[in-house]
Amino acid sequence: MVRRRGRSSLGCLLLLLIIAVALYFGVNFGEAYWRFYEYRDAMRQEVRFAAQIPDDKMKLHLSALADSLGLPEEAHDITIDRTRTDISVSAQYGEQVQLWLFTRTIHFEPHAEGRL
């Protein structure tokens, strides 16, 4: 008869607990970064077609997307710098991520630039 030691099952339980905690906190951070990447991708898309789209329409599109993504009001303040050959679109905002005992603010600066 082979006797098993209890340490291995406790180690497995501890590992599963650590993974569960990491996933719990990672989801909150992951959602914030996912929204940032979607917003930045939309900026890049607007820059790609900037030659045909006026600045006010670009701001309107990006502002509507920021609203639909649930970004803070600061994300609606979009800066567009256009020269005869280049364009740059940017914004700045902070998003609060709720953790178990505290809240952390993550600052994002989505930016896109390209040639006209």
Give the residue ranges of the chain where pLDDT is below 70: 1-10
Residue 101, pLDDT score: 81
Q: Give the alpha-carbon dihedral of 47, 51, 54, 59, to 10 degrees.
A: 0
Report how far residue 80's alpha carbon sits from residue 91's, in angstroms, rounded to the nearest whole number: 9
Closest to 44 (Cα-Cα) out of 76, 83, 85, 91: 91
6 Cα distance to chain centroid: 43
Helix axes 7-48, 55-69, angle to 10 degrees: 160
**pLDDT on residue 10:** 66
Contact by Cβ (8 Å): 78, 89: yes
Q: Tokens at residue 61, please?
A: 């599109």
pLDDT at residue 71 in the model: 96
Look at the block and give the residue holding tokens 């989505």. 110
Q: Enumerate residues 6+ apart whose C-beta is below 8 A from 44.
A: 112, 114
For the segment 10-29, what is each residue's pLDDT rounded down to a tens digit? 678 888 888 888 888 788 88
- The pLDDT value recorded for residue 1 is 60
Residue 25's pLDDT is 76
Of 74, 84, 69, 78, which Cα lies nearest the Cα of 112?
A: 78
Global pTM exceeds 0.85: no
